[in-house]
Structure 1
C-alpha cells in the first residue's frame, strides 16, 4: 500500500494579492512541493473586504482583532472573500501551472460553523467536518483553494477568521500548518524574531502587550492547532522559501505543551 503523505496546509492573508510577484513566487514553490506532498491553500482577504466596504460607505470595525460583520454586510464580505480573493488566487495558481479548485468552508461538509457571539455579528467558529471532498481532490493532484466563508446548520453565512479556518482544515487532514503573512514571524519587544513559542512564553508576551490584536488571534489559532495536532505550527513570511520554512530555518514555531521540556 502506498504511503499516505502528510498534507501541507498553507494559510495566506489577503494582502498577498497586493503583491502578485510574491504570490506568483509562492505558488511556483507550491507547485514544486505538490510533487512531494499534497498541499491545501487557505486564504483571507481583509484588505479586499475593507476596500469594498469603504467604497460602499459601510463602516468596518474590529473587536480583539476579529472583524465585526453585520448580516447585511455579508453579501459584500462573501463576494470579496469567496469571490474576488478566491478567484484571483486561483488565477495566479493557473499561471504557475497548478490546477486549482476554489472552495469555501461550507463546501462538501469540510467544516461546520457556529456563531461566535452576536456582538461580532455574522462571525463563525469552525469545527472539523468531513475530509471526503478534500481527499478526493488531493488524490487527483488538485490544489484546493479555500476561502474563510462558512455557514451554520441553518445556512446563515458566516465570516470566519482565516487563521482559525486554516487550523481546522489542518486538524481535519492531520496536516502540517504554515501561517504565512508579510511578517517574519512573532517578534519580541525589541522587534527580534522569536524562534519558538510555548504557552508560557505566549502568556508572558501577551502580559507585556507585545502579542496583541491580529497577532494574538494568529498565535492563539497556531497554539490551538499545535495542541490538536500534537506538533508545531509555523508562523512565517510568505516571501521566504517554502523549503526553509518547512525545514525550520525561518519563522516562529509554536510548540504544543506535550513537546515542551518538563511536559
Structure 2
C-alpha cells in the first residue's frame, strides 16, 4: 500500500513555488508516495474583495464570511488559485486534478453563524473519491471549502482542513509548505522542535511574524491526531536523498 503525504500550501506561497519543489514531488511519486495538496488563497481573496468594495473582517483569526464574501472566496479559490496550482503542476509533467472541498471530501457544520457567518467547523472527511484519484496516479489539489449539513458550502480554515485530510487518509506526513526553510533559531534551521520549545521561542521572540500562525497550525494538527507534522519551504526541495527537509514538530509533550 502506498503511503500518503498531505501538503498544505498557503496562499502566499502558491505564486512562488520553484522547480526544486516540483522535482521533489516527482521524486516522492517515484518513491511510491501518493500526494494530496490542500491550498489557501487569502491574499487573492483579500485583493478581490477590496476591488469589489467589500470589507474584509477577521474574527478570532477567521475571515467573517457572509454570502458576498463566500462568493468571492469560491471565485478566487476555485477559479484562480486552484487552477493556477494545477496548471503549474501539469507544466512540470506532474499529473494533477483540481477538486473542490465540498465535492465528496470535506464536511462541516456551522461554527457560529452570528459571530463568523458562513464559516464551518470540520466534522469529517469522505475519502473515497480522493482515494480513487490517488490510485489513478493523480495529485488532487483541493480548496478549503466544505459541504454543510444542508448541502450549503462553508468556508473552512485550510490548516484544519489539511489536518483532517491527513487523519482521514492516514497520511504519513502533513507538511505546511511556506516561503521559509522551517523554524529558525540564531540563523540555524532546526531539524525538529517540541511544543515546549515552541512555547519558549514564542515567548522570547525567536518565533515571530508569519511563523507564529504556522507553528500554531502545526501544533493544532498534532492535537488532531497527526503523528508527524513538518514546516518546509516551497522555494526548495521538500524531499531530497530519501528524507524530508524543513522542521519536524513532534507530539511528545502534547
Sort the TM-score into its range (normalised by shorter chain): 0.7 to 0.9
Which runs of structure 2 are paired with 1:65-104 in the superposition (5 Å)? 65-104=61-100
Tell me: CA distance 1:230–1:9, structure 2 relative to 1, closer, same or farther (3 Å): closer
- For the residues of structure 1 that align with 2:206 and 2:215, how far apart are their CA atoms? 12
Q: Tell me if the contact between 1:116 and 1:123 (Cα under 8 Å) persists in the aligned partners.
A: yes
2:25 aligns with one of 25, 30, 38: 30
Instruction: List per-residue Cα deviations over 1:150-190 (Å, max 9, x = no partner).
Output: 131123322212111111111111111110011222345x5
1:39 matches 2:35 = yes
Q: Tell me if the contact between 2:166 and 2:226 (Cα under 8 Å) persists in the aligned partners.
A: no
**5+ residue gaps in structure 2?**
none
1:136 aligns with one of 125, 132, 139: 132
- For the residues of structure 1 that align with 2:125 and 2:53, how far apart are their CA atoms? 36
1:225 matches 2:193 = no
What residue in structure 1 maps to residue 234 of structure 2?
Answer: 238
2:248 aligns with one of 241, 248, 253: 253
1:111 aligns with one of 106, 123, 143: 106
SS at 2:140 equivalent: strand
TM-score (ref. length: structure 1)? 0.83
Kindly indicate which of the two structures has a greater share of residues assigned to strand: 2
Q: CA deviation at 1:205?
A: 3.7
Runs of 4 or more off by more than 6 Å in structure 1? Answer: none
Which structure has more RCO (C-alpha within 8 Å, separation ≥ 6)? 2
**5+ residue gaps in structure 1?**
none
1:122 matches 2:122 = no
- For the residues of structure 2 that align with 1:192 and 1:58, how far apart are their CA atoms? 42
Kindly indicate which of the two structures has a greater share of residues assigned to helix: 1
- For the residues of structure 2 that align with 1:165 and 1:245, how far apart are their CA atoms? 29
